[in-house]
């Protein structure tokens, strides 16, 4: 499913790209391969353990020189404004508390250049999610430490953050609904602001 998200982002040679929540590093390795020797890739994740695993994976693929790892939080990206061509986030946005999602997406907008792309893969509760999704949500409410994702309305969250939606796909992982969304940073009245709310709870 992350592969489908990378395909939607369609990273190009020479681009400056960021993955938020890189986990074990398979996304970073794919981004580095696509960006090529003239490109540059950054990864932000708060976990030192994940960083060690991702570093080893990126090194094994021979792209170590193109990837920089940052221990950090997506709510406060330690990056300059308007520089990135693309941001990738796979199974990470739905880990944030609902009220933090606008802040994370505003940070993505801030660091992207005008016309830059954001690809999000996220567990979804858009539409009629079905019985497995209802069971998952019950488990999440009972055992949030284990079932730690709160499925979200990803497309709606990106729209509310001021992204223009370029593509929107539905998929499934372990029978649970997933959204794969590509947003583009156009000119927007929201530039430089965090939207007041995220209506994903309605």
Buried b (16+ CB within 10 A) or exposed e, 158-170: bbbbbbeeebbee
Map residues 85-124 to x or -, x wherever contact with ligand SAM holds by CB under 6 A.
Answer: -----xxx--x-----------------------------
Backbone torsions φ then ψ of 197, nearest 5 degrees: -155, 170
Q: Is 46 in the site for ligand SAM (CB under 6 A)?
A: yes
Residues touching ligand SAM: how many (CB under 6 A)? 17
**Residue 170 tokens, joined:** 């539905």
The three-state secondary structure class of 19 is strand
Q: Is 136 in the site for ligand SAM (CB under 6 A)?
A: no
Q: Is 11 in the site for ligand SAM (CB under 6 A)?
A: no
**Dist. CA 56–CA 73, nearest whole Å:** 21
Nearby residues of 39 by Cβ (< 8 Å), 6 or more positions away: 11, 13, 14, 15, 16, 17, 32, 66
CB atoms within 10 A of CB 181: 26
Q: Which stretch binds ligand SAM (CB under 6 A): 10-18, 40-48, 61-69, 176-184?
A: 40-48
Name the minimum Å distance from CB 18 to ligand SAM. Answer: 11
Q: Is 129 in the site for ligand SAM (CB under 6 A)?
A: no
Query: Quick one: how far is CA 19 from the chain centroid?
Result: 7
Name the minimum Å distance from CB 189 to ligand SAM. Answer: 27
Name the minimum Å distance from CB 34 to ligand SAM. Answer: 16
Name the minimum Å distance from CB 200 to ligand SAM. Answer: 18
Q: Is 45 in the site for ligand SAM (CB under 6 A)?
A: yes
Q: Where are the strands (E) in the chain, listed by range?
A: 16-20, 40-45, 67-71, 84-90, 112-123, 164-173, 176-184
Q: Is 44 in the site for ligand SAM (CB under 6 A)?
A: yes
Q: Which stretch binds ligand SAM (CB under 6 A): 46-54, 78-86, 124-132, 185-193?
A: 46-54
Name the minimum Å distance from CB 24 to ligand SAM. Answer: 7
Residues found near ligand SAM in the complex (CB under 6 A): 2, 20-23, 27, 44-47, 50, 73-74, 90-92, 95
């Amino acid at each position: 499913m992350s592969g489908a998200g990378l395909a939607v982002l369609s990273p190009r040679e020479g681009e400056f790209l960021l993955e938020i929540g890189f986990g074990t590093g398979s996304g970073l390795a794919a981004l580095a391969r696509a960006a090529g020797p003239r490109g540059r890739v950054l990864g932000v994740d708060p976990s030192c353990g994940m960083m060690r695993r991702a570093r080893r994976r990126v090194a094994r693929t021979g792209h170590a020189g193109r990837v920089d790892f940052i221990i950090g939080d997506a709510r406060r990206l330690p990056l300059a404004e308007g520089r990135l061509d693309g941001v990738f986030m796979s199974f990470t946005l739905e880990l944030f508390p609902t009220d933090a999602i606008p802040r994370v997406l505003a940070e993505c907008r801030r660091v992207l250049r005008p016309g830059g792309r954001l690809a999000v893969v996220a567990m979804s509760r858009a539409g009629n999610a079905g019985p497995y999704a209802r069971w998952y949500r019950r488990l999440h409410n009972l055992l949030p430490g284990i079932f730690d994702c709160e499925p979200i309305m990803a497309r709606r969250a990106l729209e509310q953050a001021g992204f223009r939606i370029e593509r929107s796909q539905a998929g499934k992982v372990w029978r649970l609904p997933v959204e794969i969304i590509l947003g583009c940073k156009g000119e927007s009245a929201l530039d430089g602001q965090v939207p007041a709310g995220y209506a994903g709870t309605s």
